[in-house]
Structure formats: structure tokens, C-alpha cells
Structure 1
Amino acid sequence: GARIADNVKIKKGKMRGEESLGMICALQEIGFSENVVPKPYLNGIYVFNEPLEPGSDALAALGMHDAVLDFEITPNRADALGMRGVAWEVGATYAEKPHFEEKPLTEGDRPVGDFLSAEVKDAKDAPSYQLRVIDHVKVQESPLWLQKRLWLAGIRPINNIVDVTNLIMLAYGQPLHAFDYAKLGSQQIVVRRAKNGEPLTTLDGNEHELDDQDIVITNGQVPVALAGVMGGLNSEITPETTTVVIESASFNPVNVRKTALKYNLRSEASSRFEKGTNLADINRALDAAVAWMAELSEGQVAEGTVSPTSVSAEDVVVDISLDHINHVLGTDLTQQQVTQIFEQLGFDVTESDGLFAVAVPPRRWDIHIKADLVEEVARIYGFDNLPSTLPTTTMTIGEYTSQQKRIRRTRHLLEGLGLTQVITYALTSAEAAEQFKLQPGLPTKVDSPMTTDHAVLRMNMISGLLNVIKYNQARKETDVAIYEQGRIFTKTGDQVRPTEIEYLGGAITGNVVAKDWHQSAKAVDFFYAKGIVTHLLGDYSLADPIRFEATQAVAELHPGQAANIFVGDQLVGILGRLHPAFEHAEHLPATFVFELDLDALFAAPRQEKIAQPAPKFPAVTRDIALQVDEQVTNDQVMAIFHEHGGAFLQDVTLFDVYAGDHIAAGQKSLAYTLTYRRDDQTLTEDEVTQAFDKVKAALQTGIGAAIR
């Protein structure tokens, strides 16, 4: 009536005419995982390798009634990946000091140097590398007590040599590896970096093509193991093995982790090496392992250790004060309490006037600074015992910086002008990065780009905005006005890290006024985009004048509808329509774009805005129409007005531009309104006429204007 795995009930039956009331079971049938069943018994009945009393409890004999401790280890506490580390932790909790019995080691007369030598090419790859040799071994099934310890820990028993390496790893937390000496093919072990393309078949039967980031154990010629990860099939321990080389080492944790992840070979060994091991246990674990192997395999241990590299494992002394501990934890612990906690942890401690000098042993390589000691005190004292206290530090109310405030105001202004904020990728193609550049610079390339469209960091904002417009156009959204504030990345030839510059970009296409019953649709034009930029820059209260100068230097912009934007003499942006050829190539409609260097604007000198009372005296206006060469710009005319207009000229407005009938070829007509005003009295006709005549004369001599 007993039930086994999968709730199968054992029933009464007959075998060869004999009544059967029981069943001979495989380990899987009584609840063992296939991952821990010894391979010879995976598909058959398990046979005990030592005599047991018939009728005794099979589960007890197999260790199924044993207590198993299951730990969730955080990465910083790799010392608890060995039972000795766990014993220290339990001892600290219960204020008891653990005691460990060391397995006595008996060496033979033959020196280890008769068997092999070893070399480590780079001590950074293997700071400590130790080898021992056991001769005349008999590789066989491990005794039942050893098998039980392994399968209860989730490890499959293999043979008495390999099982001892796993037993010592579980006890000390120090991974070991065993090589078949005869299969090494030489009397030399060399630890080096693999060569690119070098092959190795690991113990799991998979062949790997290595690279120069992998640390390998070699026989001087070919790899026989991936250091800290997995051994090679070409040096595997088998029943025919008679001489064994045992390795105990410390490997570069970064390389071990990268190698294990690269080849999907996460193992018990790699998990420990990548987190660090107790340097003081490297030789201790090796000696314990060969002592057990010699006993279980009837082998003879060669005299001495091959040690091409080694490290000294010394205590780390950390100084800390009682006041600091109590301040951080909010406690009122006494010197005696803190000293007792450190002693429970097995740390040597000396105290003088509330100052502790704590000697941390190598088995706790996670402790280096005062904060680590505070954490240990809190753990042993008990987090639940820590009092709840209010923060004692002075609270500082956070606020935006002036730059953050300006960026937010800029966003609000643009949204008020009808633009919508978008966020695009900072990664772009190499071609797009070189477009619309304000300043010369080199792109920053991504080492391993996913696609060519995301191969470099952007050097302008406009390219990303155009992608958004194309996306919307494909979905029949033809009226688009967008902006983006973010960073561009540029560098010179000798820069390693790029310079990050805060930028603002905008793009507008389609109609800015929709057609309805009382008005026609109005498409965006250059002056609409310029008006947005002018309004935005006007809010910056810049001390230097803002200028727009026509340019043909930006290949992606229309040569007749493009301008550089200056504040004083500094170039801070560009504005214009896309070049028709560029629009055609990118399948874009007529689109106007602008880009501003916000960092340059933030650094530009400011002029405070001062509120003025409403004028008390009336203004006087004069209109003037000029016929000038078509190459003359509005900026040139305005400069003459402001230079020669006199003290009472308050404002100049361009209200008409005309070219065509009644105007000579190559000429154009510009019409302006000039506004004059005095703050202290009403202007007389003579004062206005005198100032107006000076302006007309300056226009005629300065730009050859004909007054119409």
C-alpha cells in the first residue's frame, strides 16, 4: 500500500509464481531528482555499495531524513557558500565559536617536482595557483556517506576523486579541479589567455571556440580546462586514471564571469570564483582534498606543492568609533556590547577611548570600510531592535536650478506657440549625424550597434525631428509642428568621451491656419518659423542684439531661405526651409526647421527687463519707401535706421516688400514706418523732420537707396 513517486501505489503481485508484497525501486521512484542520481543508476535499480540490514528504512539509509539548510545568499556574502562560512555565521548568531577538525595529511617521499611544473603567464589572471599530485589512485564509486552529502546538496556523485573536490567546495567554499595526469600529455601546466579561435571541448561534451578574454589551463600547448569554469574532456578523471593532479586557485573574477556567461557554462565553481573566495583557504582546502582522496582511493600524495603564484592572506584592519556606530544606527550601544558583537563574529578587536581597531580575517573579504562594520553590528544586534528615530540632518528644500527653470519656460513658450514636444533616439545613423551641424566635430561611434540607423550619437536635433514628421506623414497627419530639447554629442580627434551640449530643435510642416468658412488655409513659411525663434529669443532678455544672416553653408537647407542666428557675434543656431532636393530624397513636404545651442544662450549676458510707465506724450510717425538693390537685406537697412535715426526714434517696422512692375530689374521696394517720441515733452514738427532727413541721407549714401 505504500506510494512512490507520481503517487504510484505499490500493490500485491506475483513474480515467477512467487508472491511479491514490495518493489525494488530506482532512486527517481522514491523522490530523487534525475540531476543527482549517479549516472550508472539513471536507468536502473540503485545498489548500495555497503551492507545494510534488510528491512531497515531505505529513506533513512539514503539520507532523506537529514536536515538540509537552504540559503539565499546575496552576492556580497559569498563566504556563506561554504559550510565553514555558514558555521561562523551561526556561531555569531548564537554567540558560540565554531571548531573545525582538519584532516591530517600524510605525504610520500617522491617530490611533486618529479611529476610536473607550472607557470602562470599573468599573475592578474591567477593571483594564486596551487597544484598537488596523488599517485597510485583507484578511481571508484564513493562511499555512501559521501554520496549522500552530495546529492542532498544537489550535486550528482561521480567517483571518489571528483566527489571529494565537490565535498571540499561545499565545506570550504573553495572550488577545486582534478586532472588525469596521464591525459595531460606533458609535465607542464601553463595558465594563460586563450588564442582567438582556439578550440576546447568541455566536460559537458560541448566544443567551444575560445577568444583572448578567456583564461585557460594548458599542458603547455593545448587547453585542458577553462579556468574557474569547467574542465576539459581531454583531461577527465575516469576509472582508468591512476595519477591525479589537483588544482586549487584564485582566478580573475571578471574574466571568469564573462567566460561563464559567454559559453552558457554557469557552474558551482564559476558562481564562487566570480564572487571571490577566501584566499586563506586555497592551500588549506587543497590539503584537505588530497588527504581525503588518498584515504578513499588508496593513493599516495607527492611531497610538496607546485606554486607558481601565491598571495598572502592577511587581516584587514578597519578603525571605527562607538559614536559613529550609534549615530548611524540611532542606538545607544555600549563599548562592551559592540566588542562582544565583534568577538562573536570572530574578529579580533582592540578598544581605546571608544575607538575600535577591528581585524577582519580573510574569510570575510566583503568587509573593507566602516559602513561594513556598522552593517555587521546591526545584523547581530538585530534589525528589529533598532529604534525608530527621526532624521537628525538638516532638511534642504530642493529647487530647480536657473538652467532647469529656463528650459521649462522655453518648453511652455513653444507649446503656447502651438508646437508639441517629442523625444527621439539619441542614437542615429552616421549620415544623419553629420547633417545640420552648427559646429565642426567628430561623431561618437557605438562599439556594437544593433543597426546602422543607431550606430552613432546624434550631433544635431533636426534629423530626429524629420523622422517624426515622416512617421506622421505616412499616417496622413500633414500639419505637424514639433520641438525637442535634449543633448547632442560631439568631440575632437583626441577626445575619448564626447562633449554633451544642450540643444533645442524644431520642425514645422503643413498649414498653420486651417481652412474654414471665414478664412483660407495658410501654409507655414520662413517668416512664420522666424517669428517663433524671435519670440523665443526675446524671452531670454539677451544683452547683445539678435541677428539673422542669410547663409548657404548648410547643404540640407534651401539656399534662399536659410539663416544663421547670432547673438552678438556668436553663432547660436540655424533656421530655414529644407533644400528641395533633400525634401525629395527624404520624401518630405515643404518643411521649416530651426536649431538653437541652449548652452550658448544660457551663457550669454543678460539684460534685466525694467518696467516703464505708459508714455504721456504722443508719438509721431513717418513712412518711407526705398528702392534698393535686391541683394540689400532688411538687417542692413535697420542698422542704418538705428545708427542715424536720432535719440527720439523709438521703433521701426517693415510693412511692405515689393518687386515687379514699375520697379527696375534687380531692384526691390522696401517700405517702413518710423515712430518718434519724447518722454519729457511733445515732439515738434521740426524735430521730427530734422531727424527724418538725416535718416534719408544716410540711406542714400550708405546703401544707394532711392527714396520713393
Structure 2
Amino acid sequence: MFVSYKWLQDYVDLSGIPADELAEKITKSGIEVEGVEKKSEGLKGVVIGRVLEREQHPNADKLNICQVDIGQEHPVQIICGAPNVAQGQKVAVATVGAVLPGNFKIKKAKLRGEESNGMICSLQELGIEAKLVAKEFSTGIYVFPDDAKVGEDALEYLGLADEILELGLTPNRADCLSMLGVAYEVGAILGREVKWPESNASNATKKASDYISVRVDAIEDNPLYVAKVIKNVKIGPSPLWMQTRLMASGIRPHNNIVDITNYILLEYGQPLHAFDYDRIGTKEIVVRRANDQEKMTTLDTADRKLSADHLVITNGKEPIALAGLMGGANSEVGSDTTTVVLEAAYFAGGVVRKASKDHGLRSEASTRFEKGVDPNRVREAGERAADLMAQYAGGTVLAGSAEADTLTVEPAVVSITLDKINTMLGTELTVSEVERIFARLQFEVSTVNHEFTVTVPTRRGDITIEADLVEEVARLYGYDHLPTTLPAGEATHGRLTAYQQKRRQVRKVLEGAGLYQAVTYSLTSKEKASQFALEKRESIRLAMPMSEERSQLRLSIVPQLLEVMKYNIARQNDSIALYEIGSVFLKSNRADLPEEREHLAGAITGLWESHPWQGEKKPVDFFVAKGVLETVFDTLGLAERIEYRHAEIDGIHPGRTAEVLLDNEAIGYVGQVHPTIQKELDLKETYVFELSFKALGEAEIEPIQYEAIPRFPSITRDIALVVDEKTVAGDIRKVIAEAGGKLLKEASLFDLYEGDHMEPGKKSVAYSLKYFDPERTLTDEEVTKAHNKVLQAVKEKTGAELRG
């Protein structure tokens, strides 16, 4: 809901309360103000001018030379290219030195040899959205009414010297979908009175009921229908002040009749509709459910096929409006309309919502009917609109109205004790303080023995139970003033489970390593559902998918991460590292629900490190992805229990893929995406991993044991072994670790050689072995003895030979 600060002042005194301060007060009372837009912020130097002369530019077919009176001693010459500029018009002129939206400054200029001292502006050039500009001015300059005064501030006339508060309303606060509703709220916050607009009663001798009759067949859908008749109207533009208020609220002006109905919708929150009396074709209005397959053409020229679920307004024969949504083209108010039938009705939200959904129509009117309008405001809104049509369309309002009324509305009556209010809020409010709060809200209240009986106005349909009254007291008293208290009695302190702690640790590690957390869809397509899956099972299809692209529950997270990669790379973000801890869904024997498992997945591409000053660049490779995982395993205390084994997995590069094992059980993989898939997705070299986080999170971990820092020196021996090229380096390391005994503390691979000086089918791998004893200094003989055992073991078990 957009609320004009200046318009709001018509209903409640805002003196001494700037718009920003008012926004803060409204937010603190429970309705969030999402922003305050100062319409004229940054704009200056725009005045009203009068075009005295207009002649064709001698050197340009589409330009005009205009002499414009801007209220100064002499007229100014302005070159204008607008097709609708004409002599005698009053227009918006940006003078030399003026500033327009986008910090566009107006300077003296020469256009095709002729001097121009300013600019005649369109509304779009003054910052008004094109969709809000009336059609007659949508492709040219704006022309002010004749009563505009030359030389005065054009921004003031156009309502741009205003501030707009954008309210983020929750569904229960439909009462604030109107200026009067907001005025009641602001009046309660500030403790000030609300002024209602005045309507003059008709003094016509003819009666509306002589011209039209109303019958409602669908009483539950439409318990109240009021029809006013206004004769002798003259269709034309609405007054400028009304147009500017509509535009500030996001509604495009049309003509005086339509604009008045929209104005009342914003002012009262009551949707209205105007019919051309002569186009209705009969002297009756019948409200009923549509017939199956019945058709009508709405104001947007769309042909609508109706059903018995839809409520229609008819002339007794055919539909002339879709109730609460849109009028029919066959009864539209046009430039030749002289008599208007004005509809003010109360439609049930359910039937309007159904038609809105079926026809894809959502409007300001349907929104209000769906959320609920004030039934006691229907007639008043109709009377106010009819009065405005008399003032600004020259119409004569016929006496009374034609109506069908079966509406019975009783205001809600809710009782609550002072003790309950204070107990729930932790306050010590008195009876008089609570009564003053209800009085500010304009709720009728009676108090007996500290019990309040509150009669809630029908405009506040959200208040039905005790808790609602407590909320009203709390927000008007001020949430900032509520005391802070701790729970009484014994309490169990909350904490994370061990599994949750591990999840949090892993997130911290991965983000520390430079990966960003992604949250992707759990739904995917049939083709992608089983790609990269750790466990191959049939994917699960939704019973009612919104689209085929999101019809299956995923078996792997990696395809979704690759989608994110593709999206970013297409936007020149080519170095990306992502991870996600999320669920995959496996089909189980149970027919009702799938088995849900938590996985950890990641995807990395581009440069891992880039130091342009030093000229260093390190692209992502297999060992970067593996290193990230090793940091995770080390943090979880599982590093010694993890192994890597060469694997071939669909969609992963066959030579750059490793299966990850925990305690000899496969829990996932790490590797490069297969080049063909990289090409399909327009990806560069990309590495991914996916692991069962359930396995990691539930793994039992031995308590941490600390060892003293060694006091005695270690001895390092390096060995280079010649082995078959198919021998796995990890297998050799296992043999070394087993044979080294208690003196061998570390064994790490540091070199691989395959080249011209190596016989075919062989390779050389080099390891660095560290020996030490924490209790004493080792002798060379002791180390040599242990080292020889290692050499003998690798020769016997792997066929390795020392490289000469």
C-alpha cells in the first residue's frame, strides 16, 4: 500500500511529525514501512510556463521553436520536439540550471542553429513511470489545466513535492488498504482525531429506483448491492489533484468517472464500478452465478468463458461485469456517456478469489474483496463517489438508491481482564491506561471489575479473540516499553546436538576455505534427477508438479550446483566455489514417504588463487578439491580413517576421479566433471565432490589425545621407488606405514616421475619418511634397521625397486 504523506494530512493532523519519523512510529507499532520515497528528491527548477508562440524549426522537421512565458520579465525561447506542443498550452518547463531525475542538468544549448533556454517536459522526464501517465500524454509533453498559474512550482502542482510511504501489510491488516484505515492507525499511534470526508446529500426530485432495479439471486455471495444513478455527467479529465494522488498510489488516470471510483477505492478501501446506464440495455440489474460455458467480454477486450463458480452482474439477460474483478465491455463508460449507474457492493471473498484465480485477473479491487472490506462502509463509499461525480463531472445524483440488502453484520465483542493483559505482556498497566489505548483505537469499551468488554469496529475484522486485544495493547503501549523477563521455574538449557555441531563446523571450514553456501531446488527434471547420484535408485515424481523441469525429487545435489555454475559463468563470473549441505530423496519400500538423506556437495571452477601483482595464478585442479575435503575430514577428526580409491563414475572424468572411503566404506567421490558435460553446460574445467554427510556426522570419534611437543630430534630418509605404472601410490604408503613400526611417524609422497629415462610400463614415486622417538634421541643404527624393514616390505608386497 502506497500512502501519500500530504493526502494523509486530509484525515489526521500530522503537524510536527515529518514523514521519516511517522514511518518509524508506524513500523514500531507493528506495520512495517518498507521505504519512504521523496518524489521530488534531487529535482529543482521546474515551473509552469505558457506557450505564447510555436513555429516550425527552419532546419528540422520534428522540432518546434516555442516562446514560453515562465513568469519572468521576458519570455524564453525553447526548442521542443514533442508532437503535441501547441500555442496557449500551460506546460512544465525545466529552466536553465534545473535538475531532472538522474542528475540531468539543464543548460543553454543550440539545436540545429537555434538557441534553447530550457526544456518543456513530459511526465516521464519528471520521474513518473510511463505506465502511470494518462494515455493522451503518454507520447508527449504534459499539459496543465487552464487554472494553473504561470511561474509557480510545477512539482507542487503535479504532487511531486510529496513523500510516499510504502506499507508492507500482512494479510490480517486489510483495514489499512485504504487511506481512512491508515488514518485510523496513525491517529491511534499519535493520539489524534480522524477527520472523515464529507458528502452532500442529493436534493434531486427523481429517484434512482425509478431508473433501475436490483435483484440478487446469489445472496450468500452478495448480501448487499447498492446502485446509485447519476444523470447528465460530462466525461472528461479528472481534476489534477485527483490524478496526482492516483499516480502516487500506482494507478493510471483515465477519465473523471473511472478516476473517482479508483479514488474512493483508495480512500475508503471499497471497490466501486461505474456502468453506462444506456449501454446496460435494460432497467434491471440481476446478480447471479454464471451458467456453465457462458461467455462475456471484459474491459480488457478478453473473451472470458464462465462457470457456475463465478459471480456475475447481469442486465437480466447477459453478464455486464465479473463481480469484484472487472466490468464488461458492453457496459463500459465512454466519452459519450451521460448517465452512470454506480455499483457499491459487498462480495464474499471466496467467490472473488475463485474467479480471480480461474481468469488470471488480480486487481486492486479483487485484493480488497478477498481480504475483506468493511461492510459498514459500502453505502458511505457510494454516496461519497456520487457526490464527487456531481462536483467534477457535472452530474445530478438521483435521490436514494436501488438496492438488495440481506446483510447482517454485528461487530465482534471480546472480553479480557486487566490481569491477563499484564500477565501476557509482563507489564503493570492500570485500568485507565488500557482504556486510553482502546479509546485511541476508537474501540468502544466498558469496564467492570477490571474486566474490559470491547466492541470492535467492523473495519477491524482481524480482532476476534483475547490475544488480538493483547496485541493491540502491546503495540500501542510500545514494544520498546515492554519489560524483558526471564522464564520462571526450572529450565533446560538448549544446545546443539553433536550432529548439528559437526554441520556447523563443516560450514565454517568450507566458508573459511573460500566456498560460498548455495541453497538449490530439491526438485529437478527426470533427466537430471539421477545424474551424479551416490546411490542409483529410481527417482520420485511429484503427484502435481508445477512444471516438468521441477517434477522429480533429486538423488544428487551436484546437478543443481552445476546449474548455478552455468548461470554465473554466463554472467562473466568465472571463478566460483560453492557448497551445499542439503537433502536428497531415495525411493524406499514404503509407499508413502521417501528416505531423506543429508549430503555434502561442492563445485569449484576457475582460479583458486590469483595474485596479479606477483604474477601468480593457480587454477583449480583435482588436488584443490581433494585438499578442501581433507581440511573437512581433519576438522571432524576423521582424517586418519579416510582413504581415496580410483573410481569411474558416470558424468565424471575417468582419469581424475577418486572414491572416498570412511573406514573402508564408500561415502562419496571427488573428481572433475566429464568434458562432454562441461561442454554441454558451457563450463570450463570444473571439479565437484559429493559425500554422505550422514556418514560423516554420525561417525564415532575417539576423544582427542594431546601429545607433548617432541624434545628430541627426528631423522628423515627419502626413498625413490620404481614400480609398475598401474601401482597405486596409496597402496605403497600403506605398506610403508605398516612396516615402519612405532618409530615411523610420517610418510608422505613428494615426487612422481614418468619419462624418457624410465623403462616402459614403469614409474618412479618418491616418499619422505620421518623417524623419531619422543623419549630419546635415535641412533643411525636404529633408524637404518627400521628403514631396511620398510624397503624389504615394499619390495616383497609391491615389487618396488630402489631407483639408482
Q: Fold conserved (TM > 0.5)? A: yes
Q: CA deviation at 1:199?
A: 2.1
CA offsets per residue over residues 190-218 of structure 1, 9 Å max, x none?
Answer: 11112222222222222222222111111
Match of 2:277 in 1: 181
2:540 and 2:587 in contact (8 A); partners too: no
Q: Secondary structure at the match of 1:71?
A: strand
1:117 and 1:306 in contact (8 A); partners too: yes
Give aligned-pair identity as a percent.
Answer: 47
1:297 and 2:393 aligned: yes
Match of 1:43 in 2: 139
Q: 2:589 aligns with which of 462, 475, 484?
A: 484
CA distance in 2, matches of 1:54, 1:285: 36
Q: Secondary structure at the match of 1:178?
A: strand
Length-normalised TM-score, structure 2: 0.50
Match of 2:723 in 1: none
1:259 and 2:259 aligned: no
1:279 and 1:362 in contact (8 A); partners too: yes
Match of 1:287 in 2: 383
Structure 1 residues 321 and 396, CA gap change in structure 2 (3 angstroms): farther
The one-letter amino acid paired with 2:171 is P
The one-letter amino acid paired with 2:146 is E
CA radius of gyration, larger in: 1
Q: 1:105 aligns with which of 192, 196, 201?
A: 201
Match of 2:426 in 1: 330
1:162 and 2:258 aligned: yes
Structure 1 residues 109 and 217, CA gap change in structure 2 (3 angstroms): same
Structure 1 residues 350 and 187, CA gap change in structure 2 (3 angstroms): same
Q: Secondary structure at the match of 2:165?
A: coil
The one-letter amino acid paired with 1:111 is K
Q: CA deviation at 1:282?
A: 0.3
Superposition pairs of residues 54-69 of structure 1, within 5 angstroms: 54-69=150-165
The one-letter amino acid paired with 1:301 is V
Point out the more displaced range, 232-241 or 18-27.
18-27
1:339 and 2:435 aligned: yes
Structure 1 residues 238 and 483, CA gap change in structure 2 (3 angstroms): closer
2:273 and 2:342 in contact (8 A); partners too: yes
Match of 1:235 in 2: 331
Match of 1:355 in 2: 451
1:140 and 2:236 aligned: yes
CA distance in 1, matches of 2:288, 2:140: 43
1:317 and 2:413 aligned: yes
Match of 1:371 in 2: 467
Q: Secondary structure at the match of 1:367?
A: coil
Structure 1 residues 215 and 354, CA gap change in structure 2 (3 angstroms): same
Aligned residues: CA RMSD: 3.3
CA distance in 1, matches of 2:262, 2:587: 64
1:274 and 2:380 aligned: no
1:228 and 1:256 in contact (8 A); partners too: yes
1:131 and 2:227 aligned: yes
Length-normalised TM-score, structure 1: 0.56
Q: CA deviation at 1:485?
A: 4.5
Structure 1 residues 392 and 214, CA gap change in structure 2 (3 angstroms): farther
1:342 and 1:349 in contact (8 A); partners too: yes
The one-letter amino acid paired with 1:135 is K
Structure 1 residues 259 and 22, CA gap change in structure 2 (3 angstroms): same
Q: Secondary structure at the match of 1:46?
A: coil
CA distance in 2, matches of 1:202, 1:168: 22
Superposition pairs of residues 207-226 of structure 1, within 5 angstroms: 207-226=303-322
Which structure 2 segments of 5+ residues have no match? 1-96, 495-534, 556-585, 595-804
Superposition pairs of residues 527-542 of structure 1, within 5 angstroms: none
Structure 1 residues 334 and 5, CA gap change in structure 2 (3 angstroms): closer
The one-letter amino acid paired with 1:254 is G
CA distance in 1, matches of 2:240, 2:546: 54
Q: Secondary structure at the match of 2:337?
A: coil
Q: CA deviation at 1:35?
A: 1.7
Q: Secondary structure at the match of 2:222?
A: coil
Match of 1:2 in 2: 98
Q: CA deviation at 1:261?
A: 2.5
Q: Secondary structure at the match of 2:429?
A: coil
CA offsets per residue over residues 555-596 of structure 1, 9 Å max, x none?
Answer: xxxxxxxxxxxxxxxxxxxxxxxxxxxxxxxxxxxxxxxxxx
Point out the more displaced range, 197-206 or 213-222.
197-206
Q: CA deviation at 1:107?
A: 3.6
The count of corresponding residues between Structure 1 and Structure 2 is: 427
Structure 1 residues 483 and 276, CA gap change in structure 2 (3 angstroms): closer
The one-letter amino acid paired with 2:331 is S
2:539 and 2:587 in contact (8 A); partners too: no
Structure 1 residues 395 and 129, CA gap change in structure 2 (3 angstroms): farther
1:131 and 1:248 in contact (8 A); partners too: yes
Q: CA deviation at 1:310?
A: 4.1
Q: Secondary structure at the match of 2:225?
A: strand
CA distance in 1, matches of 2:491, 2:306: 55
Superposition pairs of residues 395-406 of structure 1, within 5 angstroms: none
